[in-house]
Structure 1
Amino acid sequence: MDVQRIILIAALAIISYMLVLQWNQDYGVQPAAVAQSESVSAYQSSNDTVAQEGSDLPSAGTEASANSDLPEAKAASTVSQQQLISVKTDVLELLIDTKGGDIIELTLPQHKAALNDDKPFVLLEQNGNRTYVSQSGLIGKDGLDAKQGGRPQYTTTKNSYQLEGDTLSVDLVHTGDDGVVVTKRYTFTPGSYTIAQEFLVTNGSAENWQAKLFGQIKRDGSQDPSQTTSMGMQAFLGAVFSTAEEHYEKISFDDMQKENFKKVSPDGWVAMSQHYFLSAWIPAAGAEYSYSSRVTNGNYIAGFVSPEFDVAPGETKTVVANFYAGPKDTDLLEQAAPNLELTVDYGILWFIASPLAWLLKTIHSFVGNWGVSIIFITIIVKALLFQVNAKAFKSMAKMRKFGPEMARLKELYGDDRQKMSQSMMELYKKEKINPLGGCLPIVAQMPIFIALYWVLMESVELRHAPFALWINDLSVMDPYFMLPILMGATMFIQQLLNPTPPDPMQAKIMKMLPIVFTFFFLWFPAGLVLYWLVNNVLSIAQQYLINKQIEGEGSK
């Protein structure tokens, strides 16, 4: 190759690289940029009617209302007196609307909205951008949320609370004209994304008081603000139910449009899942709950309703449920509720992905860098597949060694394909060559590759996790495409160590593979490309040593 051709190829490569960078800047997948808006009460307008206020609430469970999924209430215009209560802990910042006592905004200060943005990630919010809130209350015969006044108006002693000790309790109190006092209490603990909620009902009336506890998550159909993965593989966005019959059941928004989900089960939970983050209602164990989904006013609602409970005159009774809102961290989810860790969905290869995720976290606990952890896990996987790869590489090395003999047989028999195939098979048998051996490493690697893809995509720990130099987020693509280019280069080196296919067309296709894979990997998460790059480097070293060994055997 002359100097002019080398210069032209180098110039073409540089221009192609710059074009890809510019294309990605103009058209590449970017995180959704959503302007931050202040969350507001859903009942701030004086024109809101009770029917509108209660339209998102679950049915009390009677047959007459089974089709509407709404509590019966008559319209009566009222002026809202609600206010928003702010609560801050070390891991949560939220707003509670005293009208209904719902959580209408929840941010996670330990998780940034974007890599170069100091603003915390907003999980729940209620504004012009998105509706995603946690609602709970009491329905049924005497439930506050089923009465003509609509959602109850609670009062608090303060407008803002901050966790400073071991626990923080925020009490919202409603005193009825009948002497019944309902306290809706939120309890927070340091470092916990689980919020304990209690309804304390003190019956000061002369009659039995009956109600059912409900908890639900309401979300519109807006896109997932935490979704950054491209290449068509998206994390699940929708409702998830766990019951005694089915521990993990996904109900997409499309499914909710087609029909309502309804199941009765002891214990369990209901969640709304998205990429990296989760909100979930976890009712108290030991009772049978009704779980359901529905679509109301363009919002998707998933929730539970408890059995009816009675409060005798002069008695106080407490009903409880926990609400989790935070990252999809398997350790935290396991502590929050049984089977909640299943929301970290690794797909059909979960049996491979789960051990890989555990191993990745274990390695990280020692090395402290997720990129280095990926390198170590690549080495471990390579060691486990060493014998499979060694057999394949030996077959390829022998094919490379006996390449001249294969070429001679092809020239000798010409167009007599039957005799040529027979002679080639005799050569393969004599020299113990497996012509398909070169496929074994790729076949063995693909399930691990796909499983690791889902591990890297579902692991919130890798979100915004830096590696080194320009790689400051392993969960998204390399911004300068250097890792995919290096990966393509190592594939090309691997081809130089492998035998050239006898078929000219196949040989041309094989030469194109490094280029095809390079472009294919451009928009893959940097952590996944790092895995494949390190794997290629280790394969090159193993193939080189085996080639030398086979060639040495021939010279003896």
Structure 2
Amino acid sequence: MKKETIGFMLGLFVLFGGYVAVQNYYIQQQMNATTTADQGVVGSSTQNLANNDAASGIPKQKPLELGASATEQPPQPLTVANLDDLFIKSDRIDLAFTPTGGCISDNLMLGEKIAYNDSTPVSVIENHNICKAYGFRLRAKNVIDLRNQPAGIMKTTDGAIKIVQRSNGLEITRIFKFSPDRYDGDLQIIVKNISQQFQNTSVDFEIGATSDNRNHGSGMFSAVPPQYHSVAVRLPDGTVNRKTTPFEEKASYELLLSESSSFFSWMTADSLYWMNTVIPLTQTPIGFEALRTDYNLRKDLHSAIDQTMYEAWVKQPVNLSPGQATEFNYKIYIGPKNETILKNYDQYHLSETIDYGFLKIIARPMYHLMSFIHSIVANWGTAIIILTIMLNILFLPLNIKAFASGQKMQKLQPEMKAIQEKYKDDKQMASREMMALMAKGGANPLGGCLPLLPQIPVFFALDSCFRHTFELRQAPFYFWIKDLTQHDPYFLLPVLMAALMIASQKMMPMPSMDPTQAKMMKIIPIVFSVLMIFYPSGLALYIITNTLLSIIRQVFLTRYYKKA
């Protein structure tokens, strides 16, 4: 075993070293190509460009006259000053930018892995030759895609990355700056008219994209949880428009959200646990667009991947006279959908990016209660068990009422059987007689079910809570349960669940019913447990604890009513 492990690690090291070498070679070739392409178009050095920008003194949120020098002097070259300028590293994230287009090519969540048994780092933004995060395009009469065009990139003295591109008489400057120990950063965009003509266009940038790989990736038998991808925008009135992965096949292209000129609180491209979100800080109307596109990405000559991409774009209208500039400012959040972390961004309402569904009015308080319990017991599985006990105490009066109704029905069973035998040829008469008997005995055939109805939405709210709680991701319980958001790898919890449900059913007083209904009642626990096989272990833990508590409650109530 040790030899296999050592061999595996050596192989992994060789593969990783080869990957890094090829990647560095590719980046250097891109840089050389970019530099060569730009030599005949623009002037002298990236450093001169930075000095020229600093001297221009652009105020925020309004056009600025730059003077004649902005159009008379030849533009500077667009090059990468240094290979290290392509990277931003902090305590939380590791970002890499492409030498062409200045797009984010890689974004690793430091300290986060895709599964408890897979150390591959999490990458939030999907990037390939189709979608490039924070890449730009111009839209006037024609669409000009700048995501594969030359870019001048340099790192400033305060650690920010400055990216400059020129096209169609416009110079677009992006400045990215991220905090050392946070998931958020600042994005400043400056658009200058360096032509002699009035510019009326839209400068759009892609927030990023999430993908749904149909032929590979997470699944029922995978340790990676299913990823529900979506794009969403929050409007100033608090409305959140969200478009999620469709369950049915649709057209290959679909415009999900679109607004040409509006205000919005944030826009996000996200998955179940991660999000890439942009928050406008400039108080001017900005458009947005979200779309779904099906692609067939051919990896080689023999295989292909069907992929559905969910793209989110921000559209910035630009109207500039010659020599004018305008500025847009954004807050960027690239990181986990963790309620505790998102609480630091309450002024932007980022907690609303977590989609608990239509039962969020129940699911969110459940999360906060469970989180409080976890702060005391320091184990999420134990917190789920304690939460289940608390809910059982809350619903105890309803359960006692349901049990009492069942006991009354049980006492009437002999008389009900006699009525059924007496009127076996007249079902309507038998039904009337039994209803009269139950009314006389104070029994209600639905009395055992109605008190349990309020518990149904709580169950589904807990399911949503367990699925969307980031802290449960890769959180172990004890023994073989390593991730409470994953199903039991050995299926022991569903088996235990079925056994406890059958035991609980045998102890429960059952009304008289025909043999077919009786058989159906007996197989319900087995069917339910089979359906729960691939549900999160946290939810299975809740059901097992709840069923065990119901058995204990059944024993005590049975003894109490026998004495009475």
Normalised to the residue count of structure 1, the TM-score between the two structures is 0.73
Q: Which residue of 2 aligns with 1:257?
A: 253
| Aligned counterparts of 1:214 and 1:303: Cα–Cα separation in 2 | 7
Instruction: State the 1:391 CA deviation.
Output: 0.9
Instruction: State the 1:108 CA deviation.
Output: 0.7
Task: Check 1:429–1:473 CA distance in 2 against 1; reply closer, same or farther (3 A cut).
Answer: same
Whether 2:250 is the aligned partner of 1:272: answer no
Task: Check 1:335–1:229 CA distance in 2 against 1; reply closer, same or farther (3 A cut).
Answer: farther
Supply the AA of the counterpart residue of 2:176.
Y
Supply the AA of the counterpart residue of 2:474.
H
Instruction: State the 1:488 CA deviation.
Output: 1.2
Supply the AA of the counterpart residue of 1:324.
Y
Calculate percent identity across the aligned residue pairs.
29
Instruction: State the 1:124 CA deviation.
Output: 2.5
Of residues 422, 429, 447 in structure 2, which corresponds to 1:437?
A: 447
| Aligned counterparts of 2:483 and 2:146: Cα–Cα separation in 1 | 52
Of residues 526, 542, 553 in structure 2, which corresponds to 1:515?
A: 526
Partners of 1:188 and 1:194 within 8 A in 2: yes
Whether 2:483 is the aligned partner of 1:504: answer no
287-296 vs 340-349, which deviates more?
Answer: 287-296
Partners of 2:202 and 2:318 within 8 A in 1: yes
Count residues with an aligned counterpart: 477
Q: What are the Cα deviations for residues 399-446 of structure 1, in whole angstroms up to 9, with x where unaligned?
A: 334434433444455444445434433332233222222323553322
| Aligned counterparts of 1:199 and 1:459: Cα–Cα separation in 2 | 34
Partners of 1:346 and 1:455 within 8 A in 2: yes
Instruction: State the 1:125 CA deviation.
Output: 4.8
Q: Which residue of 2 aligns with 1:530?
A: 541
Alignment of 1:112-261 (within 5 A): 112-127=113-128, 133-137=132-136, 139=138, 151-156=149-154, 169-172=159-162, 174=164, 184-199=174-189, 214-219=204-209, 221-223=211-213, 236-244=228-236, 247-252=239-244, 257-259=253-255, 261=257
| Aligned counterparts of 1:255 and 1:268: Cα–Cα separation in 2 | 30
Q: Which runs of 5+ in 1 are unaligned?
A: 1-34, 51-77, 162-167
Supply the AA of the counterpart residue of 1:332.
I
Supply the AA of the counterpart residue of 2:280.
P
| Aligned counterparts of 1:476 and 1:149: Cα–Cα separation in 2 | 38
Alignment of 1:431-470 (within 5 A): 431-440=441-450, 442-470=452-480
Task: Check 1:551–1:169 CA distance in 2 against 1; reply closer, same or farther (3 A cut).
Answer: same
| Aligned counterparts of 1:86 and 1:409: Cα–Cα separation in 2 | 83
| Aligned counterparts of 2:148 and 2:200: Cα–Cα separation in 1 | 17
514-523 vs 299-308, which deviates more?
Answer: 299-308
Supply the AA of the counterpart residue of 2:162.
L
Whether 2:417 is the aligned partner of 1:407: answer yes
Q: Which residue of 1 aligns with 2:502?
A: 492
364-373 vs 194-203, which deviates more?
Answer: 194-203
Instruction: State the 1:331 CA deviation.
Output: 4.0
| Aligned counterparts of 1:196 and 1:509: Cα–Cα separation in 2 | 60
| Aligned counterparts of 2:440 and 2:293: Cα–Cα separation in 1 | 73
Task: Check 1:205–1:421 CA distance in 2 against 1; reply closer, same or farther (3 A cut).
Answer: closer
Partners of 2:95 and 2:104 within 8 A in 1: yes
Normalised to the residue count of structure 2, the TM-score between the two structures is 0.72
3-state SS in 1 of match to 2:134: strand
Instruction: State the 1:447 CA deviation.
Output: 1.3
Instruction: State the 1:394 CA deviation.
Output: 1.0
Q: Which residue of 2 aligns with 1:350?
A: 360
Partners of 2:132 and 2:147 within 8 A in 1: no
Supply the AA of the counterpart residue of 1:241.
V
Partners of 1:227 and 1:275 within 8 A in 2: no
Q: What are the Cα deviations for residues 340-385 of structure 1, in whole angstroms up to 9, with x where unaligned?
A: 3222112222222222222222222222111111112212222222
Task: Check 1:49–1:430 CA distance in 2 against 1; reply closer, same or farther (3 A cut).
Answer: farther
Q: What are the Cα deviations for residues 182-227 of structure 1, in whole angstroms up to 9, with x where unaligned?
A: 7532222133211211246799999999986543234374429985
Partners of 1:173 and 1:181 within 8 A in 2: no
3-state SS in 2 of match to 1:184: strand
| Aligned counterparts of 1:339 and 1:451: Cα–Cα separation in 2 | 21
Partners of 2:113 and 2:122 within 8 A in 1: yes
Instruction: State the 1:114 CA deviation.
Output: 1.6
Partners of 1:101 and 1:172 within 8 A in 2: no
Whether 2:289 is the aligned partner of 1:292: answer yes
| Aligned counterparts of 1:104 and 1:279: Cα–Cα separation in 2 | 14
Q: What are the Cα deviations for residues 220-274 of structure 1, in whole angstroms up to 9, with x where unaligned?
A: 744299855689x966413222233673112357588133632121243221121
| Aligned counterparts of 1:147 and 1:447: Cα–Cα separation in 2 | 48
Task: Check 1:435–1:140 CA distance in 2 against 1; reply closer, same or farther (3 A cut).
Answer: closer
Supply the AA of the counterpart residue of 1:325.
I
Task: Check 1:198–1:489 CA distance in 2 against 1; reply closer, same or farther (3 A cut).
Answer: same
Q: Which residue of 1 aligns with 2:300?
A: none
Task: Check 1:108–1:450 CA distance in 2 against 1; reply closer, same or farther (3 A cut).
Answer: same
Task: Check 1:321–1:403 CA distance in 2 against 1; reply closer, same or farther (3 A cut).
Answer: same
Partners of 1:311 and 1:317 within 8 A in 2: no
| Aligned counterparts of 2:465 and 2:440: Cα–Cα separation in 1 | 44
Task: Check 1:217–1:41 CA distance in 2 against 1; reply closer, same or farther (3 A cut).
Answer: farther
Instruction: State the 1:476 CA deviation.
Output: 1.0
Supply the AA of the counterpart residue of 1:370.
W
78-87 vs 95-104, which deviates more?
Answer: 78-87
Partners of 2:253 and 2:293 within 8 A in 1: no
Task: Check 1:104–1:532 CA distance in 2 against 1; reply closer, same or farther (3 A cut).
Answer: same
| Aligned counterparts of 2:507 and 2:145: Cα–Cα separation in 1 | 78
| Aligned counterparts of 1:340 and 1:312: Cα–Cα separation in 2 | 39
Q: Which residue of 2 aligns with 1:475?
A: 485
Q: Which residue of 1 aligns with 2:329?
A: 320
Instruction: State the 1:485 CA deviation.
Output: 1.5
